[in-house]
Structure 1
Amino acid sequence: MPTRRTFLQTTAATTFVAAAPAFVRGQNLNSKLQLAGIGCDGKGWSDINEMAGHDKTHHVAFCDIDLARTAKVHKLQPDAPIFQDYREMLEKLGDKIDGSTVSTPDHMHARITTDLMNMGKHVYCQKPLTHNVSEARQLRKLAKDSGVITRLGNQIHSHSHYRTAAKTIQDGAIGKVKEVRSWCAATGHGKSGYVDRPKSPIAPPETADWDLWVGVAPMRPYGDVKCYHPWGWRDWQDFGNGALGDFGCHIFDPVFTALNINNGPLSFSAGHTGMNDEIWPAQTHVKYTFPGTEYTTSKSIPISWDDGGSLPSTGGSHIPGDVRLPASGSILIGETGTMVIPHVGAMRLYTGKGTSDKEYPVLESLNHYHGWVDGCLSGKQPSDGFEYGGNLTEAVLLGNIAVRYKGEKLNWNEKEMKITNNEEANKWLSREYRDGWKLDS
């Protein structure tokens, strides 16, 4: 397994060649979108690989804090240099990069994305857009002011199932919507196997730069291969956002699209099965009230969230009692019927007498990744740029603030970005940044 020293030694020549202008390498690539990939394995690899499948892209650089996780991208584009620190990458190759994917743990999304947009780079950032509400609000503004093309990495937004469900709701298949109940089978912790910090942390692998991984968060020792890096970080409040943060931007997405929800909630409250200062609860129940839209029955609409394997009630809906709900999804209760949208599944319509046999047009799936590339090349913003994605992310993250105040209804002033009936709760809208890592907007 390569160390940082041996990796840099073996790739020095490649890095020098790749840093040269495109025409020096004997191929005119200037008509293509010159991309970087930040985060190279797991979701990062799928993001990079999908972007590489567009015939108008070319990757000029990659970055990952762990060099052991870069073999796939090196094979994909052998002449592209690989960095551990994205700041070094931007300093050395910034003038050759048009845009970048950001596929890191949640806590680093905002800092990296802010730096990219401040340099005029287009950004495709994984969901949730940010780790806290203040960051989401900042990225929404910066995206608008900079004019770069942005997209949230909630790729199911472009799937036929979600597109069809949203269009069918807007076409009035169940009348106007009275209530939404969403849920997810995933638990808020369990990926790491820990409920508190490891008592005997070990040294990080030689291939990884732990200081860069911790980034904006308070420094702590590396745990072990399960604890934080590469997979366990979602469990931890300093780095991830639990099940709601992981899946909320997916499962709420067709709901927000169908109902045209472009504003934050009016209020929110939550219950859970227990939490400490480190780990998110295994199971949560969040209740939101959102402003009504042209697709709702009243001036406000209740939307709920359950995770950890807890299914919502079907009471008050048109769903027959013997219907088995999917493991994750949403129930939209309308005036004349009820729609169930399974997570990445075809919609089901119920009228109270069983499944509706009426047929509705099925919209095709679109390539979410290529849609962003096409937008970068044409100047057209995707439907889920950072304005939409930031609003969706804010709703998810506000739910997690409610989780910290079990049983308490929190009222939200969206314009002022303030919880109006609990001053202490406002501290969770932002975070303290480690020295050298403050967001520079």
Structure 2
Amino acid sequence: MGTNMNRRHFLSVTAATAVGTLAGYATGQQPRRISPNGKVAHACVGVGGMGYHDLTNYKSHARTEIVAICDVDKNHLNRAAELVPDARRYTDWREMLAKEGDRIDSVSVAVPDHMHALIALSAMQAGKHVYCQKPLCHDVAECRALLEAARRTGVVTQLGTQHASGAGDRIGVHWLREGVIGAVKRVILCSNRPGAIDDYRLLGPRPAKGESAPEHLAWDLWLGTAPEREYAPKIYHPAKWRAWQDFGTGWSGDIGCHIFDAVWKGMDLGATAPLTVKAEVQASWKGDRARRADVWPQSDHITWTFPGCKASDGKPYTMEWFDGLIFPPEDVQAMAREAGFNEYPAESAMVIGTEGAMLLPHTSGPVLLPKGKFGGHPKPKMPPRNHYHHFLDAVLGVGMCESHFQQTGPMAETILLGTVAIRVPDTELAWDARQLRITNSEAADRLLRRTYRKGWEAPVSI
């Protein structure tokens, strides 16, 4: 296991990374060249929960070796070490990057959202290819920073939208690009997963007093860029952090990238940005000052308006997101019932066009509506694809990633713009994507970026 390094050295390394980033990557390192018969030397930051799932997929790639693993929780680290016993172990990702140097080619980031940007930017600056879990970042400005970093460094990148590589999503993309439902008029996205409120969407606010963190958890490293607070059991680590504004991005941030992805790609939106965004939220959260300052609401509805594009025949259209106990409108649910669905798919995308509609349930295949009209429409056969292997193949120089940052960055930025609207509910926010600012609300504009804890500053001053 890596030994502790001097904290002052760590901070100097982080500061140097920030300077390199803000200077346009003038000091950035180039990726290491891998020989034709060589293997990718991969390092995992975060190996608990989804990180462990990711690790198993990297390990299964024939030309990849897991050479280093890092986690702030020793229990997670020890479990992962049983799977990859030869991998070097670290508790601090900064130590890992500093010590591993040219011994690693790629880094995966599977930690709470508030730490994505700093780890990913530092790895990219060091010339490492990066696979980052969704929703890419915690803040809108961080998304833009990672997008620019991907352009400037030229490293291979992939967002952790693993279902995008599945046959269902890819068929949905194919049909949308084919234009089978005509010009897109409206998009309805939702995540009304049963039980999610009780399991993940904590009521809040935080307890008045915390307690000492367990010995196996390096709490200060877990906090990282976030404001300092006391540890409390069962509400932050593991998994519950998504409910808290300092750490997570709410339900739309967590699941939104999965539900948006096929629609964004199928409509060829690329770097398209919305014109406005507005959110409505549950009344109990909106009326509780303490909760509004600390946790995300348990239910919300977000509406983005977009300029016309080829897929909409040049006409403006809307995208709407529904989650928790705010459900898609009845007329949309009725379309699914007419197609034979007993219940509206709890997590799904409905794309409504001038000639019909496409319903894409999450993790399943798309359905064209009405069925009577599209019953005989050919469904393409999609060869199997592993999202993780697709990333590693690209690192080896084979093909392009399914969800590289330059493609998914604008989508993630749009989704996180919705989380800004949640915190300023009932206000239609005007978005200037070019200037990265909300033009009609200073309160909302301040939420595009955050102040990092001293010593943990991230290079995102754009």
Normalising to structure 2: TM-score of the pair?
Answer: 0.86
Residue identity opposite 2:311 in structure 1 = Y
Map of 1:77 onto structure 2: 84
Instruction: Give the CA deviation at 1:185.
Output: 1.5
SS for the counterpart of 2:311 is coil
Aligned equivalent of 1:404, options 423, 429, 435: 423
Q: Quick check: 1:318–1:333 contact (8 Å CA) kept in 2?
A: no
Residues 301 and 192 of structure 1, relative CA distance in 2, 3 Å threshold:
closer
* Deviation per residue, 1:140-189 (Å, 9 max, x gap): 00111001000000101101000001101211221121110110024578
Contact 1:188-1:242 at 8 Å conserved across structures: no
The Cα offsets for residues 246-299 of structure 1, whole Å up to 9 and x where unpaired, read as: 110000101101111121211110100024210100000000012222111333
Mean CA deviation greater in 233-242 or 256-265: 256-265
Question: How far apart are 1:420 and its partner, in Å?
Answer: 1.1
Matches of 1:124 and 1:350, distance apart in 2: 36
Corresponding residue of 1:170: 177
1:123/1:148 contact within 8 Å kept? yes
Q: CA contact under 8 A between 1:149 and 1:379: conserved in structure 2?
A: no
CA distance in 1, matches of 2:218, 2:113: 17
Change (3 A) 1:189 1:418: farther
Tell me if structure 2 keeps the 8 A contact 1:102–1:113: yes
Q: Whole-Å Cα distance in 2 between the matches of residues 30 and 332 of structure 1?
A: 45
Paired position in structure 2 for 1:144: 151
Partner of 1:311: 327
Bigger Cα displacement from structure 2, 345-354 vs 394-403: 345-354
Q: 1:440 to 1:352 in 2, by over 3 A?
A: closer
1:169–1:192 CA distance, 2 compared to 1 (3 A) = closer
Would you say the 8 A contact 1:152–1:385 is kept in 2?
yes
In the alignment, is residue 265 of structure 1 matched against residue 274 of structure 2?
A: yes
* Cα distance in 1, alignment partners of residues 242 and 332 from structure 2: 34
Distance 2:257 2:81 in 1: 31
Letter in 2 for 1:130: C
Q: Distance between the aligned counterparts of 1:192 and 1:288, measured in 2?
A: 23
> Match of 1:266, as an amino acid?
L
- The residue that corresponds to 1:112 in the other structure is 119
Deviations 1:341-384 (A, max 9, x none): 10111111113857734332232331100000010010754131
TM-score, normalised on structure 1? Answer: 0.90
CA RMSD, 1 decimal: 2.2
**Corresponding residue to 2:302 among 286, 297, 301:** 286
Structure 1's 321 and 161: CA in aligned 2 closer, same or farther, altered over 3 A?
Answer: closer
Q: Distance in 1 between matches of 2:191 and 2:373?
A: 24
Residues 188/401 of structure 1: CA separation in 2 closer, same or farther (3 Å cut)? farther
Which residue matches 2:210? 201
1:121 aligns with: 128
Q: Secondary structure at the match of 2:294?
A: coil
Structure 2: which 5+ runs fail to align?
4-34, 287-291
Corresponding position of 1:254: 262
Q: Percent identity?
A: 37
| Matching residue of 2:245 | 237
Counterparts in 2 of 1:353 and 1:265: CA distance versus 1, 3 Å: same
Mark the CA change 1:227 to 1:352 in structure 2 (over 3 Å): closer, same or farther: same
Task: Give the Cα separation in 2 of the matches to 1:421 and 1:126.
Answer: 32
Q: 2:377 aligns with which of 336, 358, 362?
A: 358
* Number of equivalences: 416
Task: Give, in angstroms, the shift of residue 96 of structure 1.
Answer: 0.4
Structure 1 counterpart SS, 2:44:
strand
